[in-house]
Amino acid sequence: MNRFRVAVAVGGADSVLVGDDERRVLGRSRAFVQDAARRSLWRRRLAGRAGRLACALALVVGLAPLVAELAYTTARGVRGISFGFFVHAPTPPGIPGGGISTAIVGTAQIIGLALAVAVPVGLCAALFLYERPGRLATGLRFSADVLAGVPSIVIGIFAYALVVRGLHHFSDLAASFAIAVLMVPIMIRANEEAMRTVPVDLWEAGVALGARRSRVARSVVVRSAVPGLVSGNLLAVARGVGETAPLLFTVAAPTAAMTLLIFSEGTEALPAAQETAWATAFVLLAFVFALSVTSRVVAWGLTRRAR
């Protein structure tokens, strides 16, 4: 009788002797398991490729409008760029040779005043959210999230009712207040997330050494989170620079800011005004792009230096 005996060890147990029939059953079971594993691996690979294809398609769909906007704005705006465009003041409609010098200065003043208000408020609020968890912190965080989603034109109306009507005239101060209100919630959330990246061990070590909580926050947490703080604040500035709606209710003259100059000149039917609007849009777009790149480079440099 031609029979074979196979020794199979299962989980470290004693060897068990099985015959030809049992061996065939084990072979079929092993083949079934291997086939099921191959099918599962094939399905996972197919699902992975489909996911990568969907992500690539979503990336193309998302980038297409941005690339088209950049290309069209560059093609239309680069024609009007010259040295005189940056140093000359705007001219009345129909008179060529105007520039955007006053708009550049006005935008710098508005953003500078807005930063002077928004940076301390955003940093102090983020520190409070970092070291004082509780209901008040939860309410403040929720309020910042809600304020970040409020339309900018509503912020402009609020600044008009509070500052313009209070001072009885339009001013850069009112515009700076409106831009600061727009930037504060972004700074709060960005600063808090930057502080959350600081290891808790550093905070506990500073407190264990007997340092005051304010000293630990200033010397340990804020210093370690500087790359994220700079990046988040610059991105908030990039958003504030591109806002137009709040300035419609707060600034006296359209030539006092680049965004208002784009709005006023772009609605004119004269070719010279249209060219000025497109050139100003190109300058503003280049400035926002430079701010975004600068924020990334500065954050990378500070992070590398900290390491």
CATH code, domain carrying 111 = 1.10.3720.10
Assess if residue 77 is contained within a domain: no
| Backbone dihedral angles phi then psi of residue 22, each to the nearest 5 degrees | -65, -35
Split at pLDDT 50, 70, 90, the class of 189 is confident
Tell me which long-range contacts 78-83 makes (C-beta under 8 A, separation of at least 24): 78/279, 78/282, 79/275, 79/278, 79/279, 80/275, 80/276, 80/278, 80/279, 81/279, 81/282, 81/283
Structural domain ending residue among the three candidates 14, 36, 66: 66
Assess if residue 75 is contained within a domain: no
Split at pLDDT 50, 70, 90, the class of 229 is confident
Cβ atoms of residues 206 and 252 within 8 Å: no
Q: What is the mean pLDDT of the chain?
A: 80
One domain, residues 55 and 87 = no
Cβ atoms of residues 266 and 277 within 8 Å: yes
Q: Please tell me what DSSP assigns to residue 90.
A: P
Average pLDDT estimate for 87-112: 82
Answer yes or no: pTM beyond 0.85: no
One domain, residues 54 and 88 = no
194-216 pLDDT, tens digit each: 888 877 777 777 777 776 777 77
Of 223 and 12, which is predicted with more confidence? 223
What pLDDT does residue 150 have?
86
Site of tokens 């008040």 = 136
Cα–Cα distances in angstroms (integers) from residue 168 to residues 141, 164, 174, 204, in the given order: 34, 6, 11, 51
Structural domain harbouring 232:
82-306
Split at pLDDT 50, 70, 90, the class of 305 is low
3-state secondary structure at position 281: helix
Assess if residue 108 is contained within a domain: yes
On the question of pLDDT at 18 being above 80, the answer is no
Instruction: Put residue 16 in one of left, alpha, beta given phi > 0 → left and psi -120 to 50 → alpha.
Output: beta
Residue 233: both structure tokens together: 């604040």
